[in-house]
C-alpha cells in the first residue's frame, strides 16, 4: 500500500509500519556503505526503500538518528561476538597475541552468508574518510570493545604502553578500511592477484602482519 505524501497522513502505518522501518534501515545501510554519511540524502534513502521520505522523520527524526540506528545494528552484534570470543580464550590461561587478534578480526571479516559482514566493512571503511562526529553518538559499543581488547593486549604485551597498543589497533582497522576504500593501487601493483574485497585472503595476510606489528618494541622517545 502506498503511503500518502502528506506528513500528517499515517493511517496505513499499522499495516505497513514495521516493514517500512525495516526497509529504511536496510536501504540506509546499503547507501551509507556505498557512499558514506555526507553523500547520502534522506530522499535517496526513502527512494531506495520505496517509501515516503516523511517516514524517515517519523521513525528516526532525521538522517543522523537513522545513521545511529544503522551503526548500532552493525556494531552491537559485532561487539557481542568479539567479546564472546575474547572471553572464551581467556578462561583458563593467558591469551596469545594471535588469539586476541583472531577474536578481533574473524567476526569482522568472516562471511556469514547474508552479506551483512561485507556491508559492515564497507560501512566502516567509508566512515573512516569522514569526520568522527557522525559516529560519536553511536560509538558506545565500539569504545567498550576497544577498551576490553586493549586491556587483554596489555596483559599479553606488558612492555608496551596503552598508548602504543591503541595506536596499533587503530592502524589494524585503518589498513583494512583503506584497502576496501581504495582497492585500485593494490590490484594494479599485483596485476589483479591481490583483492582487498577477498576477506579470506585479507585475513590470511593481515593476521601474521598484525601479530608482528603488535609484538614490535615500544617506539623510542623522540629526540
At 164-207, the pLDDT tens digits run 999 999 999 888 888 877 888 899 999 989 988 888 899 999 99
Domains of the chain from N-terminus onward: 71-215 (1.10.357.10)
70-72-78-79 Cα dihedral, nearest 10 degrees: 170
The confidence score (pLDDT) of residue 134 equals 54
Q: Tell me the C-alpha distance between 150 and 104, whole Å.
A: 11
Residue 202 near residue 168 (C-beta atoms within 8 A): no
pTM of the model: 0.76
Q: Tell me the C-alpha distance between 140 and 136, whole Å.
A: 8
At 126-140, the pLDDT tens digits run 665 554 555 555 566
Confidence of residue 13 (pLDDT cuts 50, 70, 90): very low
Distant-in-sequence, close-in-space partners of 13: CB < 8 Å, separation ≥ 6: 20, 58
At 100-128, the pLDDT tens digits run 999 999 988 875 545 556 666 777 666 65
Tell me the three-class secondary structure of the chain, residue by residue: CCCCCCCCCCCCHHHHHHHHHHHHHHHHHHHHHHHCCCCCCHHHHHHHHCCCCHHHHHHHCCHHHHHHHHHHHHHHHHHHHHHHHHHHHCCCCCCCHHHHHHHHHHHHHCCCCCCHHHHHHHHHHHHCCCCHHHCHHHCHHHHHHHHHHHHHHHHHCCCCCHHHHHHHHHHHHHHHHHHHHCCHHHHHHCCCCCCCCCHHHHHHHHHHHHHHHHHCCCCCCCC
At 30-89, the pLDDT tens digits run 888 877 788 889 999 999 988 888 888 888 888 888 888 888 887 788 888 899 999 998
Amino acid at each position: 500500500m502506498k503511503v500518502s505524501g502528506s506528513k500528517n497522513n499515517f493511517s496505513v502505518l499499522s499495516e505497513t509500519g514495521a516493514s517500512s522501518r525495516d526497509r529504511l534501515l536496510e536501504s540506509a545501510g546499503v547507501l551509507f556503505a556505498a557512499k558514506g554519511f555526507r553523500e547520502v540524502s534522506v530522499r535517496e534513502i526513502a527512494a531506495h526503500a520505496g517509501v515516503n521520505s516523511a517516514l524517515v522523520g517519523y521513525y528516526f527524526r532525521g538522517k543522523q538518528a537513522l545513521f545511529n540506528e544503522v551503526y548500532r545494528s552493525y556494531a552491537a552484534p559485532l561487539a557481542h561476538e568479539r567479546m564472546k570470543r575474547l572471553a572464551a580464550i581467556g578462561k583458563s590461561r593467558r591469551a596469545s597475541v594471535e588469539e586476541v587478534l583472531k577474536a578481533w578480526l574473524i567476526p569482522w571479516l568472516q562471511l556469514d552468508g547474508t552479506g551483512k559482514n561485507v556491508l559492515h566493512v564497507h560501512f566502516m571503511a567509508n566512515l573512516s574518510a569522514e569526520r568522527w562526529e557522525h559516529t560519536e553518538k553511536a560509538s558506545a559499543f565500539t569504545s567498550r570493545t576497544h577498551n576490553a581488547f586493549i586491556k587483554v593486549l596489555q596483559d599479553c604485551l606488558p612492555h608496551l604502553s596503552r598508548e602504543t597498543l591503541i595506536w596499533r589497533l587503530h592502524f589494524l582497522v585503518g589498513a583494512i578500511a583503506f584497502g576496501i576504500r581504495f582497492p585500485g593501487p593494490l590490484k594494479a601493483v599485483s596485476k589483479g592477484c591481490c583483492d582487498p574485497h577477498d576477506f579470506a585472503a585479507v585475513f590470511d595476510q593481515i593476521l601474521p602482519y598484525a601479530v608482528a606489528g603488535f609484538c614490535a618494541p615500544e617506539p623510542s622517545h623522540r629526540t
